[in-house]
Chain A
Amino acid sequence: MSNRRSPWLTLFTFGVYIFLYAPIVVLILFAFNSSRQNVVFESVVNKEPCGVFYWFCALTNNSDAIDAAGNTLTIAITSTILSTIIGTMAALGLQRYTFRLKSFSEVSLYIPIVIPEIVMGISLLVLFNGIFNGLNNAMQLAGDQRLGLGLGTVIVSHIAFSVPFVVLTVRARLHSFDKSVEEAAMDLGANEWTTFRRVTLPMIMPGVLSGAMLAFTLSLDDFIITFFTNGPGSTTLPIYVYGLLRRTITPEVNALSTVWIMVVLIALIVSRRLQRRAA
């Protein structure tokens, strides 16, 4: 009998789920709207080409959207790989060694998490502009040769805000890590690199994977920092959609968002699979 839950609890749970998912359902629904004006749902679109999936097909002809999607993925994948490597190494270093300014470096790592994104965006912009100005002047570059904001600066910025999250998740995993297991590997003849590859890394893999997943999703949907640090040819999906919103919202945007949600969902499922295998 004690297993009977209160009906209110069930109701409340449903309420929370509706609150969370109703917007997403509506968003997906409007991707099938027949009206260009994305305010009321007229009827399910059924136009050539592609019938019901008219807006999805329209998307494939939209080179701006495809470029933006490509940029977003390039940036997300590159920054995820790099920030996972850097973050994992930092976490291991912080765990293993004591050095001067250790607590300072620990605290400073977490600053990007707590400072407002807009502040970080502005400071990165100032930094990049300073560097590029200096370099352009020093190397006397002109016109097209001049270095400036682009994919590179966005990737560097994304790495900057992702690394602390990776460090955080990997350190949580390292907290329960028994150093004598590494010693056992060395004792059995494994050098430092083999020990890391065969023992340390597999043992912290779940932490590394969730760190990577965090970095990936943070990068995918980052708007503010990307807004400040992107340049010609490095427009990402959030920036592109924001640009569209200022003009007209067509169901194309909804179709785009639907695809986007699917990608994130797949990434989530894959990472959970990997994590379960690693644990």
Chain B
Amino acid sequence: MGELAVELRDVVKEFSDSEQIREVVAAVNHVSLQIHDGEFFSLLGPSGCGKTTSLRMIAGFELPTSGDVLIQGKPMGRTPPFQRPVNTVFQNYALFPHMTIGQNVAFGLEMKGVPKAEIGPRVQEALAMVRLPGYDKRKPRQLSGGQQQRVALARALVNRPAVLLLDEPLGALDLKLRKEMQLELKTLQREVGITFIYVTHDQEEALTMSDRIAVMNRGKVLQVGNSSDIYETPNCRFVADFIGEMNFIKGIIQAQAGRSATVGLDGGLTVHARCEQSIAAGTEISVAVRPEKMNIDSSAKMDNEFQGRVVSIVYIGTDTHYGIRLAGDQLVRVREQNNTPGSRPLASEGAEVKVSFAAEAARVLTA
């Protein structure tokens, strides 16, 4: 791991509602983050969880109520945005409408006092990098959304900032263009080696692009890790639920031995699951299992095997989703891949089946 590009130390941001001074909203609530040099770091969370506010505090548009923002090890304090070594790509692009694309991209260099002779070539280079060569004479309103997006990117990258902040930069694009731009962004980031801090509420986007992800909810960071950490070992119910699809089965801890726990379910069933913390017997918990980690009528011997009845079948091409009601009336979703030539459904609606999964695939979550 390299140097820290950005660090948040116990940052709090409260907005006092200007109309009624009494009402205080903590948009960001004691957040600490360490973002390494050259990393593609995503802030992921639902609407209103404080992603934008966190980003704006790094950029300097908002000042923390308490806590510190450090960029390249230097505490930022009240440093204004124009003196911070970061650049932002805004969600709505925020291009200067009265300037040409060339003038837009040159703006940052001009402000830095880069010699005129050097500005021209660097603008061309930046436009070429985002695959818009020869567009410098146009006005922003003459470009499509995706093109404007790339201009915004070029305008920020041309300054070679230490850190690039991106606030849902692909939010306004259609799905196909978004996928294309995701790949482009990721490739670009590898090429230029600049630290990217990327805000998104799209979990798939975060999973595919990021080196590490911080999952946020209600102003707090719940978990930080790489894509597979977040997906495979969520540390709380919110993360498990927010990322991907998840079955939650209610139960009561019966016994725990090290990291494996035995959980009693309704209907006298027991399930063996992985448990990271020690929990007193009798505590109500949820067991979380991903649908694709459950099998139907598998011949392999598993730690957990239940009888159930198929209540729904949804065929979606690559997979088939089964809704299965277990003996204790728990409804679970199971996903089976259609990975053999001419795959047919494993069961029909109403059929009695065996659902099995490994203890390793099931996790005990308290909250």
Contact = CB atoms under 8 A, between A and B. Distances in A.
B301 interface: no
List 10 tightest A-B contacts by C-beta distance, closest first. A189-B111, A188-B108, A184-B94, A180-B94, A186-B81, A98-B18, A187-B88, A202-B98, A189-B82, A181-B94
A188 to B, nearest CB: 4
Contacts, number: 64
A178 B94 contact: yes
Contacts of A198: 107
Contacts of A98: 18
Contact of A184 (B18, B60, B88): B88
Interface residues of B, number: 25
Contact of A181 (B18, B80, B87, B96): B96
A186 B83 CA distance: 9
Contact of A180 (B18, B82, B92): B92
A188 B90 contact: no
A156 interface: no
A185 interface: yes
B30 to A, nearest CB: 26
Contacts of A203: 96-98
29 contacts: A178-B92, A180-B94, A181-B95, A183-B61, A183-B88, A184-B88, A184-B94, A184-B96, A185-B96, A186-B61, A186-B80, A187-B86, A187-B87, A187-B156, A188-B82, A188-B108, A188-B111, A188-B155, A188-B156, A188-B159, A189-B159, A190-B107, A191-B80, A198-B107, A199-B96, A202-B98, A203-B96, A203-B97, A278-B98
A178 B88 CA distance: 16
* Band of interface residues on A: 10 to 19
Contact of A191 (B18, B82, B108, B159): B82
Interface of B: 18, 59-61, 80-83, 86-88, 90, 92, 94-98, 107-108, 111-112, 155-156, 159
Interface string A67-79: 0000000000000
B107 A188 contact: yes
B41 to A, nearest CB: 19
A278 B87 CA distance: 28
Given A180-B92, A181-B97, 18 more contacts: A178-B94, A180-B94, A181-B94, A183-B59, A183-B61, A183-B81, A184-B88, A184-B95, A185-B96, A186-B60, A186-B81, A186-B82, A187-B86, A187-B88, A188-B159, A199-B96, A203-B97, A278-B98
